Amino acid sequence: MDEAVINERERIAALKLTNDKVPIREWWFKDNALLTFAFNTSSATVPEGERFIVRAVEEARDLVSDSGLKKQADILIHEETAHALMHDAYNRYLDTQGFPATKHVLETKVLLLFFERIFTLKMRLATCMLIEHFTATYSKQIIEVGVLEGEDTDERMDRVWSWHCIEEMEHRSTAIDLYRALGGGYFLRVLISAFVSIAFLIAHVRCLIDFLVAKRLLFKWHVWQKGIPYLLGKKGVYYLVLKYWLFYFKPGFHPAQIPIENRFNKQLHHYHIEDELVGYFDVPVR
């Protein structure tokens, strides 16, 4: 808590909303249902993935001797543990809003526990690497395009996602560095990644459709018309995920080859803010 917090104005605005018990509205991003639900879908599918990553990285950390890499692993473990706790609160909030979030948390958990049972450590690390590649490119787009910098975005959700995205960008190389230190090679990386890409896509799209069905919006044309540019357009959240997906399959790929630019000078990661963020979801249901 001692270090400078550049986004102090946003912290105060978010705190005021919480203190005034202002509910987080159902469509918290510019009243755009599709984009809001896409973020909510990521929240539902993320915490069990983060716990899967933590378990694999803990095991890998104990097998490597490089102290710098061990330190990188410790940072990732700390950050993913905090993210998962925050998303647990976020997902409880989604349940109270009528989204079947817990159902998808549990489905993701079952799938990842199955992977954990049948995969070797290197295969699990290869799974982590692809998840980390998706989250890093998703995060890069959100932060660099300033997707959440609109005036009509709930400040609390801006802080929740900006914090998560910045840390994802910063620790994007850890899983692949561990994998390589343990002798992981190209063939296994791309084989697992092709398989996991399909599983990830199915889980994510199923959850998004379920959320739209829950709100009776799946077949509302205006929702798609207004939302698609925010998902797939040049400024859409999935734009870089799609653009960099094939890039990942290049031999010799390393996440550091994708440059990161924090244009909005967001600095939310320099102190432990997870308790503050979890508190945002303690607001009454409207």
- Which residues form the interface with Fe ion (CB under 5 A)? 50, 80, 83, 132, 168
User: Which residue in the shown chain puts its C-beta closest to Fe ion?
Assistant: 83
Query: Least distance in Å: CB of 255 to Fe ion?
Result: 11
Minimum CB–partner distance for residue 234 and Fe ion (Å): 25
CB closer to Fe ion, 94 vs 130? 130
53 vs 123, beta carbon nearer Fe ion: 53
| Nearest in space to 91 (alpha carbons), one of 77, 79, 82, 103 | 103
Tell me whether residue 107 or residue 168 sits nearer to Fe ion (CB atom).
Answer: 168
Rounded Cα gap, residues 117 and 252, in angstroms: 29
Q: Minimum Å distance from CB 135 to Fe ion?
A: 5
Shortest distance in whole angstroms from residue 21 CB to Fe ion: 28
> CB of 61: closest distance to Fe ion in angstroms?
15
Look up residue 194 and give its two tokens.
């092709």
CA–CA gap between residue 136 and residue 240 (Å, rounded)? 9
Q: Which is nearer to Fe ion, 132 or 177 (CB)?
A: 132
Nearest Cα neighbor of 236 from 47, 29, 43 is 29
Return the number of the residue (171 or 283) whose C-beta is nearest Fe ion.
171
